[in-house]
Amino acid sequence: MLFSFKPTILLALALTAVASPIANPTADETNTLVARAQMKDVNCNGKKFAKQDIYNAIQQARKVQTAKDNHETGYAKYPEENFNFEGLFKVSTTLYEYPLVAGGVYSGKLGVNPDKYRVVMNEKYGYVGSLYHITGNSFKNSGKSGHKSGSNSHKKGGKN
């Protein structure tokens, strides 16, 4: 009985073509790692937010910003840039904040006033931490240990 190597060789060539490695990114494509905080339940001065509340706020921030980018109207200022003047977060990327709601989500629509609690994310919607407004226009960190409280003025500026 003769054994033909022709089908075996064809199969090997076909599998080699399918299993080819993916090309390396070009110089224009950047591969960067961005530090993210671990998303967990937080306690902002007695107000508790579940991990799901934080996740929902970040997802809604993305939806609202996409709508704004598509020139849809009826949205308020959030997500807005958080300039981190207080130095609460030790990151070098641009930060944004969005209202944080326990058991719900801030719609982002005009005429709806958010409470003082915020989720802070980077430009790729990666969670950085949570904070809340204190007297005046300052913030206190509530989402990550090892960060200090701040008392410098927080200037407003938005990503519209």
Phi then psi for residue 158, to 5 deg, are -120, 165
pTM, 2 dp: 0.66
pLDDT band, residue 9 (cuts 50/70/90): confident
Share the mean pLDDT of the chain: 78
* Domain residue extents for the chain: 35-160
**What is the per-residue pLDDT for 124?**
96
User: Helix, strand, or coil here: 112?
Assistant: coil
Intra-chain end-to-end CA distance of the chain, in Å: 76
pLDDT band, residue 4 (cuts 50/70/90): confident
Mean pLDDT of 58-77: 97
pLDDT band, residue 154 (cuts 50/70/90): very low
Please say if the pLDDT value at position 129 is more than 90: yes
How far is residue 127's CA from residue 98's CA, in Å, rounded to a whole number?
Answer: 11
Place of tokens 């801030």: 106
pLDDT (tens digit, 9 = 90+) per residue, 38-50?
889 999 889 999 9
Those residues whose C-beta lies under 8 Å from the C-beta of residue 7, and which sit 6 or more positions away, are none
Percentage, residues of the chain above pLDDT 70: 64
Identify the CATH homologous superfamily for domain 35-160.
Answer: Microbial ribonucleases (3.10.450.30)
**What is the per-residue pLDDT for 114?**
92
How far is residue 132's CA from residue 128's CA, in Å, rounded to a whole number?
Answer: 14
